[in-house]
C-alpha cells in the first residue's frame, strides 16, 4: 500500500539540489552533519577505507547484535549518501579526492587535527584546487589550543564540558545522557555553519575554513549555566528531575509509571493547583513566590502524583489546562498516532534493505521538505557510480584501482559492512 503522505513529500523539491558534499568523516559527529545536508537534497559522497570501513561505528549495535546485517549505530547517522571506499593515503586515492574537490562545494572531515595536512589534503592544499571550497573540520576541541590533540567521544565530551556534572541527582554520580547528544548536537551545528558558509559564498564567491569544537557546542547548549556563573560566581549543581529555573517543571513517579509535568504560566500553575485540590499551594501563583518555595512546591506535586495513575494525571491536565504526559518509551513513540501521522516516525522502503524506520528527516518545511531516500550502504557500494559518473573513469581504470587496493569494497567477515544476506549482486545499485 502506498503511503500517500510520503508520496506527496517525495514529489516536492530538494532545497540543496546541486550542492555536492564530500564526507570524509567517521563515527557519528561528522557523518550526521553530512546526512543533514543530504536529507535536504545535497549530493553526499561518503568515504571509508576499503574492507572494514568505519568499523568504529559499523561495529556498534545495542547488545552486539546486528539485525538483518545492519548496524543501528551507523544507520542512525547516515542516509542519502553514495558510499565509496578509497585509501586516501595512497597517491592515487589522494588524486581521487583532489578530482572530486574540483567539482564539489563542501568537504567535511573529523580526523585528528593535522592528519589531512600530512596526507596532502588539508584546507590550504585543497583550496588551491577549488578556492570556493567550504572545508568543515569537526574536532573534539578544535584545531588549535592545549586540548586540540585529544580525541573526543560522546561520553568524554559530556564529561569534559561539565554537562554530565549538572545531570542527575544531588546525592548520586553525574549521569551521561544515553542519547549521543554531543555527537548529534555538534553535527547539527556543523550543518548549520555549512549553510551559513554557502550563503556567504553565494554573495562573495569565496570559500572558507570552519573549525568546529564539539566541546564548545555542548558548552553553548548548557542554557544559563555560564551566564549565571559569570554573574554570581556560583557553580550549577545537579537537581535531579526538578528544574530550578522553571518552577514547576519535573518528572514525577505516579502509581503505575512516570509522568512529566510543567505549569510555568500563572494560569497553568493555578490550574494544576485546582486539579490537585491544593488551595495553599495556589498562594504561590506568582513566580517569585514559587521560586522562593520551590522545595515545598515540588514536594507537594510529587506526593500528589504518587497517589494517582498516569492516565488520571493526563486526564486532569486536559480538563484543567496544564501540561502533563506519560514518559513515553521508544515503543510508545513508534506506535503513536500523532507521531506517525506527521511522519515523525519515518517508515519507508529502502532500495537495498527493504522496510526500515528512521526519525523524521525534517519534512515540515512546506516547499522543500527533507526526506530519507535510502539508508546507509555497504562499504564501497557506490564506487563505480561515483567514479564513472562524476570523474569519467573507465571500467579498466577502475579495475586497476581495485587491483592496486586504492579502492575496495566490504569485508564479508564483518556483516555490518556488507550487503544483506542473499544479495543478488544488483539490488540497490545505482550504477
* CATH 3.40.50.10540 domain residues, the chain: 14-220+338-417
CA angle 182, 184, 190 (to 5 degrees): 100
How far apart CA 263 and CA 191 sit, in angstroms, is: 34
Phi, psi of 86 (to 5 degrees): -135, 135
CA angle 369, 103, 114 (to 5 degrees): 95
Q: 10-residue block means of pLDDT along the chain (431 residues)?
A: 79 96 96 98 98 90 85 94 98 98 98 96 98 97 94 91 95 94 96 98 98 96 95 96 96 98 96 97 94 96 98 98 97 94 91 94 93 96 97 98 98 92 94 80
SS3 label, residue 400? helix
How far apart CA 300 and CA 294 sit, in angstroms, is: 10
pTM for the structure as a whole: 0.94
Q: Does domain 249-328 have CATH number 3.30.1540.10?
A: yes
CATH number of 14-220+338-417: 3.40.50.10540
Largest CA distance in the chain: 84
- DSSP 8-class letter at 262: E
Give the residue carrying C-alpha cell 554520580: 173
How far apart CA 81 and CA 289 sit, in angstroms, is: 54
SS (H, E, C) 190-238: HHHHHHHHHHHHHHHCCCEEEEEEHHHHHHHHCCCHHHHHHHHCCCCCC
pLDDT at 1: 57
Give the residue carrying C-alpha cell 511522519: 343
Contacts of 318 (CB under 8 A, 6+ apart): none
pLDDT at 2: 60
Contacts of 220 (CB under 8 A, 6+ apart): none
* CATH 3.30.1540.10 domain residues, the chain: 249-328
Q: Give long-range contacts, CB 8 A cutoff, 24+ apart: 347-352.
A: 347/3, 348/3, 348/6, 348/372, 350/374, 350/375, 350/428, 351/427, 351/428, 352/377, 352/381, 352/419, 352/420, 352/423, 352/427, 352/428
pLDDT at 284: 96
SS3 label, residue 17? coil
pLDDT at 263: 97
Q: Give long-range contacts, CB 8 A cutoff, 24+ apart: 399-403.
A: 401/92
Strand partners, 135: 107, 209
Amino acid at each position: 500500500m502506498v503511503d500517500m503522505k510520503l508520496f506527496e513529500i517525495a514529489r516536492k523539491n530538494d532545497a540543496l539540489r546541486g550542492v555536492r558534499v564530500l564526507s570524509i568523516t567517521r563515527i557519528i559527529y561528522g557523518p550526521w552533519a553530512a546526512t543533514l545536508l543530504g536529507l535536504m537534497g545535497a549530493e553526499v559522497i561518503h568515504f571509508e577505507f576499503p574492507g572494514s570501513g568505519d568499523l568504529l561505528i559499523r561495529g556498534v549495535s545495542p547488545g552486539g547484535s546486528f539485525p538483518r546485517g545492519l548496524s543501528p549505530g551507523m544507520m542512525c547517522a547516515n542516509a542519502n549518501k553514495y558510499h565509496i571506499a578509497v585509501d586516501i593515503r595512497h597517491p592515487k586515492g589522494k588524486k581521487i579526492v583532489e578530482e572530486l574537490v574540483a567539482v564539489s562545494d563542501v568537504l567535511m572531515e573529523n580526523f585528528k587535527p593535522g592528519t589531512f595536512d600530512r596526507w596532502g589534503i588539508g584546507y590550504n592544499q585543497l583550496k588551491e584546487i577549488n578556492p570556493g571550497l567550504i572545508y568543515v573540520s569537526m574536532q573534539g576541541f578544535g584545531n588549535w589550543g592545549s586540548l586540540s590533540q585529544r580525541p573526543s567521544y560522546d561520553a568524554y565530551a559530556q564529561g569534559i564540558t561539565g554537562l554530565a556534572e549538572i545531570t542527575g541527582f544531588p546525592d548520586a554520580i553525574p549521569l551521561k545522557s544515553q542519547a549521543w547528544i554531543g555527537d548529534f548536537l555538534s553535527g547539527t551545528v556543523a550543518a548549520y555553519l555549512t549553510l551559513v558558509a554557502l550563503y556567504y559564498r553565494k554573495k562573495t564567491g569565496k570559500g572558507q575554513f570552519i573549525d568546529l569544537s564539539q566541546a564548545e557546542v555542548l558548552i553553548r547548549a548548557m542554557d544559563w549555566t555560564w551566564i549565571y556563573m559569570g554573574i554570581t560566581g556560583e557553580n550549577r549543581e545537579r537537581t535531579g528531575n526538578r528544574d530550578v529555573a522553571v518552577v514547576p517543571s519535573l518528572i514525577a513517579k505516579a502509581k503505575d509509571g512516570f509522568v512529566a509535568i510543567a505549569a510555568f504560566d500563572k494560569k497553568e500553575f493555578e490550574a494544576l493547583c485546582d486539579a490537585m485540590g491544593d488551595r495553599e499551594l495556589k498562594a504561590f501563583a506568582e513566580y517569585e513566590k514559587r521560586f522562593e518555595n520551590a522545595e515545598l512546591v515540588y514536594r507537594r506535586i510529587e506526593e500528589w502524583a504518587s497517589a494517582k495513575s498516569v492516565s488520571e494525571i493526563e486526564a486532569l491536565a486536559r480538563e484543567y489546562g496544564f501540561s502533563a504526559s506519560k514518559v513515553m518509551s521508544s515503543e510508545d513513540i513508534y506506535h503513536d498516532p500523532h507521531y506517525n501521522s506527521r511522519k515523525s516516525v519515518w517508515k519507508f522502503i529502502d532500495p537495498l534493505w527493504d522496510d526500515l524506520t528512521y526519525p523524521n528527516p525534517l519534512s515540515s518545511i512546506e516547499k522543500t521538505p527533507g526526506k530519507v531516500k535510502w539508508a546507509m550502504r555497504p562499504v564501497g557500494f557506490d564506487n563505480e557510480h561515483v567514479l564513472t559518473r562524476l570523474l569519467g573513469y573507465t571500467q579498466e581504470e577502475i579495475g586497476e584501482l581495485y587491483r592496486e587496493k586504492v579502492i575496495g569494497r566490504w569485508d564479508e567477515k564483518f556483516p555490518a559492512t556488507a550487503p544483506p544476506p542473499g544479495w543478488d549482486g544488483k539490488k540497490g545499485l545505482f550504477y
